[in-house]
Amino acid sequence: MRLDKYLKVSRIIKRRTVAKEACEKGLVEINGKLAKSSSEVRVGDVLRITFGERIVEYRITNIKEHVLKDEAKELYELV
């Protein structure tokens, strides 16, 4: 699945366009490497996202095309 779509489906970032902009600004890394919005994500990848002065790391535990709001947190775990 594309990184920008995963960020939206998992509700880490609310909108796909915002996710794409974050990738273009270099705020998102996959396994320690800068990521483009079109990068493919897999189960086990570690995402590192810079939100202002905060840096948050997520490990991908599941990938689904569509999930309900309550189930979105099952797609990742905080590292």
**pLDDT by residue (tens digit) across 67-79?**
999 999 999 999 9
Are the C-beta atoms of residues 72 and 10 closer than 8 Å to each other? Answer: yes
Chain mean pLDDT for the chain: 95
**pTM of the entire predicted model:** 0.93
Tokens of 39: 């990068």
pLDDT at residue number 23: 95
- Residues of the chain with pLDDT > 90, as a percent, come to 100
Kindly report the CATH number assigned to the domain that includes residue 54: 3.10.290.10
What total number of domains does the chain contain?
A: 1
**pLDDT by residue (tens digit) across 30-68?**
999 999 999 999 999 999 999 999 999 999 999 999 999
| The three-state (H, E, C) secondary structure of the chain, written as one string | CEHHHHHHHCCCCCCHHHHHHHHHCCCEEECCEECCCCCECCCCCEEEEEECCEEEEEEECCCCCCCCHHHHHHHEEEC
Domain of residue 73: give its range.
3-78
